[in-house]
């Protein structure tokens, strides 16, 4: 049977000169099981080793199975009448001697593709010289993460996923080269790579109690008083059984003034961005992290064993919960969120609300904009 190879298009050639250093972020890359597709959340960190600015002109990726057969491919380039594909990626010019974060543009694949390996190729062009540099062998071998804990949505009622971790979410847009620079290397990873912001809806179907006049004025989460959010004070429950390894509830709720991140960095309090928090060890590799509890609002203590559904505490407005009242949830492979690896999450026995219909899903990775009945 004839096989596709596209060797001329996906050359293994790489220019001899050491021009750009390419690293993947994070080091361990996971497939995420989405609805009828696979997610791939990682970034490139590109360091320009040249004395002139370099522009990214072409990015290609070829997908191979375990036998190294070419399955499919994608590419983005600078060829267009209007803004090119490259232009849509954000910062694609690397100043001489500097580093940029480039978010992987090929972040979703068909779930029926047996992809074992992805090979990326890059073409760079000197901004002044016009010289092209080609790098043809950047291999990515994503891992399949098998979640052991049967996790339940940790809130009750009609809940919306205000922000998940899709390609455009703020959890995903965490430029690690800059974060490490401003925090003196305190962060090893993007801790919220697979995070969720969950908010409770009231009987009126809204996020907060507001008058008709306020509905018109309070756009873009500009709430008059965050305490009127239905999420404020809402109870949080253990998503699965485990042992409490960290429980913090002495941090102030930032109702009247936003969290000062710069000051926290200067004072060595960068962990306070999570606010009051609970971290549960479910097993040796899976730890639930739940952030932004109310000050003195926890019902559990470190060392305590909890069961699925047990009350943990009430949601407040601590840490960097500075835009809307919410519970931040994420799964990690350790308790230290500044160094542990974020893990893909699927909740068990989820009820999706689709207008007038409810759909039960045995295991689901919620997405931004989902409505969940729990």
pLDDT digit string (tens) for 149-171? 999 999 999 999 999 999 999 99
The CATH H-level (homologous superfamily) assignment of domain 20-144 is ApaG domain (2.60.40.1470)
Distance set, CA 173 to CA 41, 91, 212 (Å): 10, 13, 34
Count other Cβ atoms within 10 Å, centred on residue 346: 19
Model pLDDT, residue 319? 95
Task: Name the pLDDT band for 16 (thresholds 50, 70, 90).
Answer: low
Q: Give the per-residue pLDDT at 191.
A: 94
* Mean pLDDT for all residues in the chain: 93
Confidence tier at 12 by pLDDT (50, 70, 90): confident
Write out the E strands in 26-131. Answer: 30-33, 37-40, 43-48, 54-64, 70-77, 93-94, 99-103, 108-110, 117-126
| In the chain, % of residues over pLDDT 70 | 99
Average pLDDT over residues 237-259: 96
pLDDT at 297 over 70: yes
For the cut 80, the answer to whether the pLDDT of residue 214 exceeds it is: no
Return the structure tokens found at 166. Answer: 């899709």
As a whole-number percent, the residues of the chain with pLDDT over 90 amount to 77
Over range 220-246, report the average pLDDT: 91
Sole residue written with tokens 């990015």: 59
Mean pLDDT of 324-346: 96
Domain boundaries, the chain: 20-144, 158-373
Decide if pLDDT at 220 tops 80: no
Note the CATH number of domain 158-373.
2.70.70.10
Q: Which of 154, 155, 163 is nearest to 324 (CA)?
A: 163
The answer to whether the 20-144 and 158-373 domains have the same CATH topology is no
Among 137-141, 198-202, 280-284, 322-326, which is the least confidently predicted range? 322-326
Judge contact between 317 and 292, C-beta under 8 A.
yes
Does residue 14 or residue 356 have the better pLDDT? 356
Cβ neighbors of 149 (< 8 A, separation 6 or more) are 239, 240, 242, 282, 283, 286, 288, 331
């Amino acid at each position: 049977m004839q096989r596709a190879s596209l060797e001329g298009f996906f050359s293994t050639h790489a220019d001899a000169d050491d021009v750009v250093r390419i690293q993947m972020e994070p080091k361990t890359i996971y497939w995420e099981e989405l609805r009828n597709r696979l997610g791939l959340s990682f970034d490139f960190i590109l360091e320009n080793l040249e004395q002139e600015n370099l522009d990214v002109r072409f990015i290609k990726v070829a997908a191979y199975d375990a036998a190294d057969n070419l399955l499919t491919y994608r590419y983005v380039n600078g060829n267009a009448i209007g803004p090119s594909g490259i232009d849509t990626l954000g910062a694609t010019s690397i100043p001489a001697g500097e580093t940029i974060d480039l978010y992987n543009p090929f972040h979703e694949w068909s779930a029926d593709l047996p992809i074992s390996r992805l090979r990326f190729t890059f073409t760079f062009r000197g901004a002044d010289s016009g010289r092209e540099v080609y790098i043809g062998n950047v291999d990515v071998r994503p891992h399949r993460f098998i979640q052991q804990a049967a996790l339940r949505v940790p809130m009750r009622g009609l809940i919306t996923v205000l922000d998940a971790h899709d390609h455009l979410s703020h959890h995903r847009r965490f430029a690690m080269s800059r974060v490490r620079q401003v925090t003196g290397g305190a962060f090893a990873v993007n801790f919220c790579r697979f995070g969720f912001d969950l908010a409770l809806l009231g009987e009126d179907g809204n996020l907060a109690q507001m008058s008709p006049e306020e509905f018109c004025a309070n756009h873009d989460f500009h709430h008059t008083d965050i305490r009127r959010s239905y999420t404020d004070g809402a109870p949080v429950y253990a998503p699965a059984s485990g042992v409490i390894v960290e429980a913090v509830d002495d941090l102030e709720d930032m109702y009247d003034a936003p969290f000062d991140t710069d000051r926290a960095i200067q004072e060595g309090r960068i962990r306070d961005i999570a606010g009051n928090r609970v971290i549960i060890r479910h097993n040796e590799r899976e730890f639930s992290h739940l952030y932004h509890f109310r000050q003195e609002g926890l019902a559990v203590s470190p060392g305590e064993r909890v069961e699925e559904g047990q009350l943990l505490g009430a949601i407040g407005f601590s840490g960097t919960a500075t835009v809307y009242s919410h519970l931040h949830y994420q799964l990690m492979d350790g308790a230290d969120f500044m160094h542990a690896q974020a893990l893909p999450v699927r909740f068990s026995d989820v009820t999706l609300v689709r207008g007038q219909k409810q759909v039960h899903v045995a295991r689901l990775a919620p997405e931004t904009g989902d409505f969940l009945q729990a």
